[in-house]
Amino acid sequence: KPVRDRQRLPVVPQGICREDFLKALDDLRQQIGGEYVSVNDRPLVDGWYMEHPNTHDMMTILDEEEFVASAVVYPGSTEDVQSIVRWANKWLVPIFPISMGRNLGYGGAAPRVRGSVTIDLGRRMNAILDINPEDYTCLVEPGVSFYGLYEELGKRGLQEHMWVDTPDLGGGSIIGNTVDRGVGYTPYGDHWACHSGLEVVLPTGEIIRTGMGALPGSNTWQAFPYGFGPYSDGIFSQSNFGIVTKMGMTLMPNPGGHESFMYTFQNEEDLAPLMEIIRPLRISQILENVAQLRHVTQAIAARGLPRTSFYSSSSSSPSVPITPEEIHAAAAKTPVGDHTWAYYGMSYGPPHIRSYKLAIIDAEFHKIPGCKKIDPSTLPEDEYFFSRDNIAAGVPDFHELRWCNWRPNGGHIAFSPVSPIRGADATKLFQLGKEIHERYKIDFFPAFCVGLREMHLIVEIVFDRDDADEKKRALACLRDMVDEAAKQGYGEYRTHLVLMDQVAGTYGFNDGALGKFNEKLKDALDPNSILAPGRCGIWGQRYRGRGWEM
């Protein structure tokens, strides 16, 4: 039989015997329909981005059997989601919702507790419920991807009218990305800030609508996010307090023109003065989008070739990092050349508005000696610049996947601390990452994503999924970066399943008061601790103190 068809003994969640678990699954089949419940009893095939698994993390840093689902259920409606939640409470089975499961770098589709039943919301709940061209808003279900919405705007003749903000890869779910507080690269790049209104199934099965959605007959759900009273949306992002079944999103009006630009800067030390220039321009919106300042190593990796193509024979081992000389020799074939940093940005509006802003940017950036502006007309068509150009104009793209080829069987995991947009902070975080990568002999891929008043440093570690030693070094490197960053006052904006307890622990002000508050909420909302136990370091009472944290 092909590997895909062979059987594997399904995992059973802890706390229930195999016999009862099989009975529970029969009960679930009766409620949702037999064809919509599948047991995870086949080999764990990783597939690729477009055919990703929904049972485990296709880029796992641990053993694949560690964070693995016992079964997957496919609800077709909010009522189905309610039934699944009630079923989980009856049988005390952990459940883990995903919208599409493409959370690569942060755990993919995997549940935190082994043997959880995954609720794959996106497979059947994938309707665009509303697109409002007057208010520039939409209302979507979990299975609507950035690509899906973009294509639908095209079908309705609205692509020129309004833009979808997309992350680097457009195949993720708008809801999945937003509830994990993901980012895109137009002025609407802070997805959580741009959403308006949620429908949520609580862990005990009730449905709530937040903001104006709580007022029957209101036509303002997607236009005013707050409604009246406490603003409850926040507790449904990066948490395990509810399952989002609908979400409103605001869309960007076509600005009437746009123009990408790219500048390179020569020296590693240019980072600090450059950040001092970027901050006031970004806060005053002369630099308008969530732009990226990327290190030259990424310019090479974005070509999609394995690291061995750039190596001399002595350094072809995965535990010998690429040298600065090799990096620059390889970069000679990219527009970054012998420079170290590349800034990708976009200016919006009609030509006269753009030229006003672009002139200021040009004058400011040229205060860094050696700064170069790259003329896009000199670049080949498949140059990475054009992928950034698409994304900053709301056109989904896949080019970014290419750097996963840096290692054979490339998986990746991210370290993503936040700081103000300041030279001193950028330098400290850059040095911290660099030194710890050197400690573990890992190639260093830093990129700063500049928000409005803060920036995320995104450091991706690319590893061979079949190389146990590489994975071990990658994880140790991440753990050290998280701890050492926290000691210097920096915390992660988002993290992988395997690091959630550690990262949550770094937010420890006043003897962990925030964590305790989250536990109180968890126990009140989810008395049986069935929903995504451990997600974001929040464990319900049935799990606490029993050795689940890692």
> What residues are annotated to the active site?
106, 493-494
Alpha-carbon distances, residue 372 vs 282, 429, 469 (angstroms): 20, 25, 40
User: Do 430 and 271 contact (CB within 8 A), yes or no?
Assistant: yes
Interface with ligand FAD, residue 139, by CB under 6 A:
no
Residue 421: closest CA among 401, 450, 457, 394? 450
Number of residues that bind ligand FAD (CB under 6 A): 30
Residue 489: closest CA among 508, 502, 471? 508
Distance in angstroms (rounded) separating the CA atoms of residues 197 and 209: 7
Interface with ligand FAD, residue 97, by CB under 6 A:
yes
Interface with ligand FAD, residue 104, by CB under 6 A:
yes
Distance in angstroms (rounded) separating the CA atoms of residues 528 and 542: 7
Distance in angstroms (rounded) separating the CA atoms of residues 208 and 435: 48
Interface with ligand FAD, residue 99, by CB under 6 A:
yes
Binding mask 214-253 for ligand FAD (x = CB under 6 A): -----------------------------xx---------
Selected range binding ligand FAD among 17-25, 164-172, 300-308, 359-367, rule: CB under 6 A: 164-172
Q: Quick one: 107 or 187, whose CB is closer to ligand FAD?
A: 107
Distance in angstroms (rounded) separating the CA atoms of residues 361 and 355: 10
Please, what is the end-to-end C-alpha distance for the chain in angstroms? Answer: 37
Shortest separation between residue 408's beta carbon and ligand FAD, angstroms: 16
Interface with ligand FAD, residue 167, by CB under 6 A:
yes
Residue of 121, 252, 300, 455 interacting with ligand FAD (CB under 6 A):
121
Selected range binding ligand FAD among 26-34, 178-186, 305-313, 323-331, rule: CB under 6 A: 178-186
Residue of 94, 101, 394, 515 interacting with ligand FAD (CB under 6 A):
101
Residues 297-336 close enough to bind ligand FAD by CB under 6 A = none
Residue of 37, 71, 98, 281 interacting with ligand FAD (CB under 6 A):
98
SS3 content of the chain, % helix, strand, coil (to 5): 35, 20, 45
Shortest separation between residue 244's beta carbon and ligand FAD, angstroms: 4
Selected range binding ligand FAD among 167-175, 209-217, 354-362, 540-548, rule: CB under 6 A: 167-175
Shortest separation between residue 371's beta carbon and ligand FAD, angstroms: 25
Residue 223: closest CA among 186, 259, 247, 248? 248
SS3 labels along 160-191: CCEECCCCCCCCCEHHHHHHCCCECCCCCCEH
Selected range binding ligand FAD among 104-112, 252-260, 370-378, 425-433, rule: CB under 6 A: 104-112
User: Do 45 and 60 contact (CB within 8 A), yes or no?
Assistant: no
Residue 193: closest CA among 233, 227, 163? 233
Residues near ligand FAD, by CB under 6 A: 97-105, 107, 121, 142, 167-169, 172-173, 175-177, 179-180, 182-183, 243-244, 400-401, 532, 535
